[in-house]
Structure 1
Amino acid sequence: MLAAFFRSVLAEPRAPDAPVRVWRDWVLVGGLLITAVSEAVFRPDVPWRPLATVVTLLVIVVLFWRRTQPLLATAVGFGGSLVLYVPTVVDDVADVGLNSMAAVLLLPYALYRWASGREALIGTAIIAVPAGLSFATTETPFGEVLGGVTVLVASFALGAAMRYRAAARQREVQQVRMLERGELARELHDTVAHHVSAIAIQAQAGRAVAATDPAAAVEALAVIEAEASRTLLEMRAMVGVLREGDATDAEPAEYGPQRGVGDLDELTRLSPLVRVSCAGDLAGLPQPVDMAVYRICQESVTNAIRHARHATTVSVEVTGEVGVVRLRVHDDGEAARPSTSGGYGLLGMAERAKLLGGACQAGPDPAGGWTVEATLPREVPR
């Protein structure tokens, strides 16, 4: 178990998006430099003053790189502490250094916040050397030792906690993006499949009657033009959603006005075989449920027209009941569906229903033909 833990730590990459330098760094380092210089000049009881001053100033300056080079900054900072420990051995002085050296405590935080797992382990060992020597070779009261260890551990823990929080936030953003991409994929499939199928059907009808009924052919061309315009509008809306989604990660982008139950009669334009009936209470449906009902019906009708051979009718039934909305799309054609279909439409319908806490099933009907049934809750789950 311990070996697995170390392997996972060693495999941990650096935290992403470490800021190079921000204005707060300049304020912090500038303030510490002024404090250190003032202390070096005016404080009378500083042994080995030149060494203490140079080391302290170097440690303060290296704070600029504590996020982008956390291991290097830690090595310089606590290496400086080790250098200041040497005079206490050779010259028998109690303590060498300026109070401004306390800035070194920012480095354990930066190490655990930004470094890779391997760098964090090496940095921890580097920190342990001067800290351990100081505690072991000086007659420091137990309370001060405990306080120093507590401060070090708190710095480590705060860095690790902030790293975990940032990683959790990043996972949340990625999950939102994945959900948005899935929604856009379903919208793209439903929109393109529906409108292109309508265009193809009308084009076939227009070609069939062009020689005998020019007026009907012109009407078919008008329908094709209208469907193409709708397709362009919906595609532009999706492109707008993508652009808005890139602009902000905090809030999912919203779609423009979407079709719902009130637009189901539009499906009859696809083919004279389509019949739509609505019953029960369908007023006041939440927008996600309203849109899902339309999209599932739309995809089911499109699939029936494309794949149901010898069908004489495609019926769409939507019923509003207490707490749920039920829909059923049935065609009386041959039940088999071509294996060349990628299956994204059926998958998209099932995903739509599942995301809303409902269910959708599609398959051959025991009485003949193909049936799609879905049940959606009237309330959107939070």
Structure 2
Amino acid sequence: MHEFLRSVWAEQRPPHPPSRARWDWALVGVLAVAAVLEGVLRRDLRSPVVSVVVTAGLLPALRWRRTRPLLVVGIAFGVCAVVPVLTGAEPELNTLVYLLLLPFSLFRWGSGREVVLGSLVLSAKLGSSLVLGTTSPADAVAGVVVLSTAATLGAALRFRAGARVRELDRVTLLERERLARDLHDTVAHHVSAMAIRAQAGLATSTSHPEAAADALRVIEAEASRALTEMRAMVRVLRRGEPVDLAPNPRVADLERLAGGSAPGPAVDVEIVGDVEDLPPVVGTAAYRLAQESVTNARRHARHASRIGVRVVVDERAVRLWVTDDGERPAPPTAARGHGLIGMAERAGLLGGTCEAGPNPDRGWTVAAVLPRTGGAA
């Protein structure tokens, strides 16, 4: 139990709370109008002025509930604890229900120690209301249930967001490992070429010195390319920078996907533009994205009659579309599959995008855009 409490206390805040200032101020404005109208229209209020002032005065706390959750919980529920001491009655407006957003935000965006301290503040508020007699035991129990529900919802969303981030990190790591394997294969190819050229140069160095010199020039070029790719591998593995790799498949090799030996619907490949001078990293990425998309279509598109692969190459980018006319049993689930996440990661490493979704009438489309420079500055 001690270890659990210590881990809760040491829990860090979730990163990057969303900034929604415009919506927050709009919410504050709507609730302020609602508080004033309720104070004017309700005739059963014992202290309508105090209730309206407290309800409206605490509204700006909603603006900072994500960035300073403990502070706004302390201020809001501290004020609500002091008001009964001064007036003898709790603030009575129903509009004050917006305070439930504060414990929700505390458990969603606060650190572990902020959650613990904020929970003590909430408990102190309920306890003071019981002691002063402004809240009955039954109402206090109901308040505990309502506050606990709001806090539990915030904690559940926090856990879900954390699990999503961890899953994306895992998929990212798997994709980087796959890229590293591509780089390794390419570097091994260059090293093998250097070894063969070196053997040939040694064998002909005495009788044909010019052949040995040619071999040295080839070895120098291969070594330079291998060094460049090794540096790229270090960048992508250590710092997650865009990688410049040059594995074997290229855009022109997409014609392989149209082969008739693979099971499933026929594949039509159309390539528009000049693909010969594309950087190898871009050509390989386009090939891998198309290959994965065709594999997914053959696996998941029921009753599909054709799969279309279209690549358009211009001066700025390579655009890829893979479309099928089949039926997907569960598009939302398929759209969140690890394969598509990995494809988006591969495109993102090059500064591009990859999106997938159902067509308006029937079928599924994967659309990717890769910068022609391969993410180079």
Give the equivalent residue in structure 2 for 1:361. none
Task: Give the aligned residue type for 1:65.
Answer: W
Q: Could you give the per-residue CA deviations for residues 220-266 of structure 1, whole angstroms, max 9, x where no partner exists?
A: 47865885798699789979999xx879xxxxx9x98756xxxxxxx
Range moving further from structure 2, 162-171 or 142-151: 142-151
Q: Could you give the per-residue CA deviations for residues 199-237 of structure 1, whole angstroms, max 9, x where no partner exists?
A: 244145235525523675477478658857986997899
In structure 2, stretches of 5+ residues that fail to align are 250-260, 264-377
2:201·2:212 contact (CA, 8 Å) conserved in 1? yes
Matched, 1:36 2:35: yes
Inter-CA distance 168–84: structure 2 relative to 1 (3 Å threshold)? same
SS in 1 for 2:58: helix
Q: Could you give the per-residue CA deviations for residues 102-132 of structure 1, whole angstroms, max 9, x where no partner exists?
A: 1111111111111111111110011112222
Give the equivalent residue in structure 1 for 2:191. 196
Distance 2:139 2:189 in 1: 75
SS in 2 for 1:119: helix
Q: In angstroms, what is the RMSD of aligned CA positions?
A: 3.9
Distance 1:73 1:246 in 2: 39
Give the equivalent residue in structure 2 for 1:81. 80
- CA positional deviation for 1:145: 4.0
- CA positional deviation for 1:41: 4.0
Distance 1:42 1:257 in 2: 73
Task: Give the aligned residue type for 2:78.
Answer: G
Aligned ranges 1:178-193 → 2 under 5 Å:
178-193=173-188
Task: Give the aligned residue type for 1:72.
Answer: L
In structure 1, stretches of 5+ residues that fail to align are 248-252, 260-282, 286-382
Inter-CA distance 110–246: structure 2 relative to 1 (3 Å threshold)? farther
Task: Give the aligned residue type for 2:85.
Answer: V
2:166 aligned to which of 162, 166, 171: 171
1:56·1:100 contact (CA, 8 Å) conserved in 2? yes
Aligned ranges 1:278-357 → 2 under 5 Å:
none
Q: Could you give the per-residue CA deviations for residues 87-108 of structure 1, whole angstroms, max 9, x where no partner exists?
A: 453xxx5x43422211111111
Give the equivalent residue in structure 2 for 1:109. 104
Distance 1:284 1:257 in 2: 23
Distance 2:79 2:167 in 1: 40
2:73·2:102 contact (CA, 8 Å) conserved in 1? yes
Larger radius of gyration: 1
Percentage identity across paired residues of the two chains:
48
Task: Give the aligned residue type for 1:100.
Answer: T
Give the equivalent residue in structure 1 for 2:4. 5
Q: Could you give the per-residue CA deviations for residues 316-345 of structure 1, whole angstroms, max 9, x where no partner exists?
A: xxxxxxxxxxxxxxxxxxxxxxxxxxxxxx
Distance 2:142 2:153 in 1: 16
The TM-score with structure 2 as length reference comes to 0.55
Inter-CA distance 238–11: structure 2 relative to 1 (3 Å threshold)? closer
Distance 1:140 1:50 in 2: 20
Inter-CA distance 71–142: structure 2 relative to 1 (3 Å threshold)? closer
Q: Could you give the per-residue CA deviations for residues 147-199 of structure 1, whole angstroms, max 9, x where no partner exists?
A: 32221110010011111111111111222222233333333333223313422
- CA positional deviation for 1:19: 2.2
Distance 1:211 1:256 in 2: 35
Give the equivalent residue in structure 1 for 2:115. 120
